[in-house]
Amino acid sequence: VATGNLSNTAIVYPAGHVLQVKTSGPLANYDVATTSQNWPTALAFDSAIQSSSDVLIFFSATFIDTASGATNYVDVYFNGGGFGSTTSGLKIIDAEHYRNSGTATVRGNVGVHAQDTAPGSTTPSYNLWFNVGVAMNLTVSVATLTLMEIAR
């Protein structure tokens, strides 16, 4: 088959071929602050994915911790698809900005990716779960979450 679109099941895409991309962001500033929460609420593709596809997920951001003077840190998880939810998801960042105390501002850039080889449906959605270990003043700046459907 030489023509068609993603809904044409007669088209066989070569392994590794990017079929569609969806991005959320960049977000100017997102305050995680003192409670665990997710961002974005849900990010999904505009069209259903093929049942044989994988999903490649990218996250990048700048973390800015304006210290509260107490011990604090944040863990970050990929959620949705075949990853699980909240802290049962795939941990991608462990104890970011861990500190015992202090009042200096700490900035750090993060960039991570993972491949979901079992999205669980043709309409998976994804987000990030920020698990705040102890109350902190964390701002996530220029955050971008990108999904790529990859032919298997």
- At 149, phi and psi to the nearest 5? -80, 125
| SS3 state of residue 150 | strand
Least confident segment among 2-16, 68-82, 85-99, 104-118 = 2-16
pTM: 0.83
Distances (CA, A) of 73 to 66, 70, 132: 12, 10, 6
Residue position matching structure tokens 């102890």: 134
Q: What is the pLDDT of residues 4-47, one digit of tens each?
A: 666 677 778 889 999 999 999 887 777 766 667 777 788 999 99
Query: Which residues, including other chains, have CB under 8 Å from residue 133's CB and lie 6 or more apart?
Result: 72, 73, 74, 75, 95
